[in-house]
Structure 1
Amino acid sequence: MIKVTRLDQSQLYLNSEFIQSVESTPDTHIVLANGHSYVVRESDAEVIALIIDYRRAVSGADTGSGRAALHLVSNE
């Protein structure tokens, strides 16, 4: 689960396994696989970093398990 902040400052936990897309238009929209959409204060890059951190923690990549670390790749 990742913690994000709605525009009204309330916090929300989302299951990052169900995130289908993250888009900035300029507000950041997170769309889940079930079609629910959330507008959050975090930038798209911040949301992606939260997802990467979550997956590292779940996979054990940050504990020296020998697995390859995940990292953000730019489309540019």
Structure 2
Amino acid sequence: MIQLFRLNGEAFILNAILIEQIQALPDTTITLLNGKKLVVKNTEKEVIQLVTAYYQTIGLQSIHIEAGEEK
């Protein structure tokens, strides 16, 4: 799980595994696997860093590397 911030500054927790896509439109917009879109205060780079750290914590990063996928 990662902590993000809504545009009004309110913190919330998101299951990073549900993220399908991250875009800067110019606000950072996260599209979930179910199609729901979330606009967050965090930058695109911050979200990617949080997701990567979360994947490493739960061991998913090494699974992607073993499968031959790039970062």
Q: TM-score, normalised by structure 1?
A: 0.76
> Separation in 2 of the partners of 1:29 and 1:60?
23
Question: How many pairs were matched up?
Answer: 65
Q: CA RMSD in A?
A: 2.1
Match of 1:58 in 2: 58
Structure 1 unaligned spans of 5+: 62-66
Q: Which residue of 1 aligns with 2:39?
A: 39
Higher Cα radius of gyration: 1
Give the 3-state SS of the residue equivalent to 1:8 in structure 2. Answer: coil
More displaced stretch, 8-17 vs 51-60: 51-60
Judged with a 3 Å threshold, the aligned counterparts in structure 2 of structure 1 residues 26 and 60 are, in CA distance, closer, same or farther, namely closer
Separation in 2, partners of 1:60, 1:33: 17
Aligned partner of residue 48 in structure 1, secondary structure: helix
Give 1:35 deviation, angstroms: 1.1
Q: When you count helix as a share of all residues, which structure comes out higher?
A: 2
> 1:25 aligned to 2:22?
no
CA separation in 1, counterparts of 2:12 and 2:36? Answer: 13
**In 1: Cα distance, 2:8 partner to 2:37 partner:** 15
Deviation for aligned residue 1:43: 0.7
Q: Which amino acid aligns with 2:18?
A: F
